């Protein structure tokens, strides 16, 4: 297929596809799916080999968020029966992180619900970062605390944070339909603050919220322009008790196309399969490793993932290897800071302005509420974590 050959060539050169090319990936048929995976897999292996980076989530503060993000089980007014607790103490968070590191995680992601941290919260998280770093040699720490105020990213960096996560989630045009208590521009500002402070920026998307193919391409192109080092691709977990609890718009095949499109647009960044892979990819998860070079190990913030042991077996059975703490995740030109922020990485090809109007509507998956399990173990409980 000429399209795939073109996209592989561009991916190896770090050249931006056109919008029409990205849309065409999402519009491919199931008959062509394995060809799409094989092509994107060439780009993935060129930049990241067969390594898979493991990340581990620690939910420092769960529930009771004042924001109204429609997809979130922790949102204002959520009726999802999730765990709710206030800040973990640094030693509690460090113990939780150690379980993930013991399971093979290279990065620990510290997340707290809320609009954004107060200065006192930043102090608290700084102590937690220091405790984790002291007890786990070589581990990376990423913070995800919401919208940042001036100077807070610098303080987190001084405390030892390596990265900051703040997702764009969806296209700018439709953002107001998902969240009303803050803006898309607020999110972009926080990613830029992380960049400016010298933190590795992590920013991604959520698929499955009823968006169009054009929305998906818009948000991934916006991420390319923001130039994060890692792009987590979340697949909506439709929690009962949230506004999007009835949205079951994804199939395993569509998830693979979304990951492939993301890889073609962001060829040399860490593409991470994040929340919802067990729910929507299901038995197709091993194929997704040919597209993404990073996953979360074990459970998520408020939902359970598959057993950590099963994650490790899946990686080995698919012919991949877990990335060690002595290995550098990013290609040399990114790890050495050779790419400037704000304009994407690599030589930029001409961006097409046309919109592909012939793409078929996404096929909805059958609701699998049996696969959505509220987390009842790990951080904030007395039960052992899944790692």
Q: Give catalytic status of residue 272 as yes or no.
A: yes
Find the catalytic residue in 75, 107, 142, 254: 142
Find the catalytic residue in 14, 75, 109, 187: 109
State the Cα–Cα distance between residues 245 and 169, nearest whole angstrom.
17
- 272 known member of a binding site: yes
For the beta carbon of residue 326, count every other beta carbon within 10 angstroms: 7
State the Cα–Cα distance between residues 28 and 255, nearest whole angstrom.
12
- 65 known member of a binding site: yes
Q: Give catalytic status of residue 345 as yes or no.
A: no
**Could you tell me where the beta strands, DSSP code E, fall in 218-293?**
230-235, 270-273
In Å, how far are 1, 56, 132, 217, 231 from 100, measured between CA atoms? 42, 6, 11, 33, 21
Q: Give catalytic status of residue 144 as yes or no.
A: no
Find the catalytic residue in 44, 72, 257, 334: 72
Q: Express the helix, strand and coil content of the chain in percent, nearest 5 each.
A: 40, 15, 45
CB 164 within 8 A of CB 146: no
**Could you tell me where the beta strands, DSSP code E, fall in the chain?**
51-61, 107-112, 140-144, 163-165, 200-202, 205-207, 230-235, 270-273, 294-296, 321-322
DSSP for 149-180, written as a single string: PTTHHHHHHHHT--EEE---BS-GGGHHHH-S
Find the catalytic residue in 14, 19, 44, 69: 69
HSE-CB at 320 with a 13 A cutoff on CA atoms is: 30
Residue closest to 37 by CA, chosen among 233, 204, 250, 259: 259
Q: Give catalytic status of residue 69 as yes or no.
A: yes
In Å, how far are 144, 165, 252, 290, 329 from 284, measured between CA atoms? 29, 27, 6, 11, 24
- 72 known member of a binding site: yes
- 69 known member of a binding site: yes
Find the catalytic residue in 144, 202, 255, 345: 202
Q: Give catalytic status of residue 266 as yes or no.
A: no
In three-state form (DSSP H/G/I as H, E/B as E, the rest C), the secondary structure along 334-368 is: HHCCCCCCCCCCCCCCCCCCCCCCCCCCCCCCCCC
Find the catalytic residue in 257, 272, 277, 375: 272
- Binding-site residues for [4Fe-4S] cluster sit at 65, 69, 72
- Binding-site residues sit at 65, 69, 72, 109, 142, 202, 272
- Binding-site residues for [2Fe-2S] cluster sit at 109, 142, 202, 272
Active site residue ranges: 65, 69, 72, 109, 142, 202, 272
């Amino acid at each position: 297929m000429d399209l795939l050959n073109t996209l592989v060539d561009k991916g190896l050169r770090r050249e931006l596809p056109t919008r029409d090319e990205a849309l065409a990936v999402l519009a491919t048929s199931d008959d062509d799916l394995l060809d799409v995976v094989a092509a994107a897999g060439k780009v993935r292996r060129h930049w990241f080999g067969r390594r898979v980076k493991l990340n581990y989530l620690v939910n420092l503060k769960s529930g009771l968020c004042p924001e109204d993000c429609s997809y979130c089980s922790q949102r204002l007014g959520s009726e999802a029966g999730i765990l709710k607790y206030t800040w973990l103490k640094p030693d509690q968070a460090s113990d939780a992180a150690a379980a993930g590191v013991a399971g093979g995680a290279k990065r620990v992601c510290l997340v707290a619900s809320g609009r954004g941290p107060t200065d006192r919260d930043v102090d608290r998280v700084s102590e937690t970062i220091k405790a984790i770093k002291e007890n786990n040699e070589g581990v990376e720490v990423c913070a995800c605390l919401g919208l940042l105020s001036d100077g807070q990213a610098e303080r987190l960096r001084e405390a030892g944070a390596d990265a900051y996560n703040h997702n764009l989630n969806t296209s700018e045009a439709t953002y107001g339909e998902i969240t009303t208590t803050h803006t898309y521009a607020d999110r972009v500002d926080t990613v830029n603050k992380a960049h400016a402070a010298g933190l590795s920026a992590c920013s991604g998307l959520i698929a499955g919220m009823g968006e169009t193919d054009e929305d998906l391409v818009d948000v991934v192109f916006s991420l390319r322009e923001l130039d994060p080092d890692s792009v987590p691709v979340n697949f909506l977990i439709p929690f009962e008790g949230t506004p999007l609890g009835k949205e079951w718009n994804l199939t395993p095949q569509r998830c693979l196309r979304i990951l492939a499109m993301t890889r073609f647009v962001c060829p040399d960044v860490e593409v991470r399969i994040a929340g919802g892979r067990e729910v929507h990819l299901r038995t197709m998860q091993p194929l997704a490793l040919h597209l993404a070079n990073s996953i979360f190990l074990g459970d998520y913030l408020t939902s359970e993932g598959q057993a950590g042991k099963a994650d490790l077996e899946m990686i080995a059975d698919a012919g991949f290897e877990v990335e060690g703490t002595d290995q550098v995740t990013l290609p040399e030109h990114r790890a050495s800071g050779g790419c400037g922020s704000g304009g994407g990485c690599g030589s930029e090809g001409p961006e097409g302005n046309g919109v592909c109007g012939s793409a078929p509507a996404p096929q909805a998956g059958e609701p699998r509420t049996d696969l959505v399990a509220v987390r009842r173990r790990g951080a904030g409980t007395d039960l052992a974590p899944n790692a």
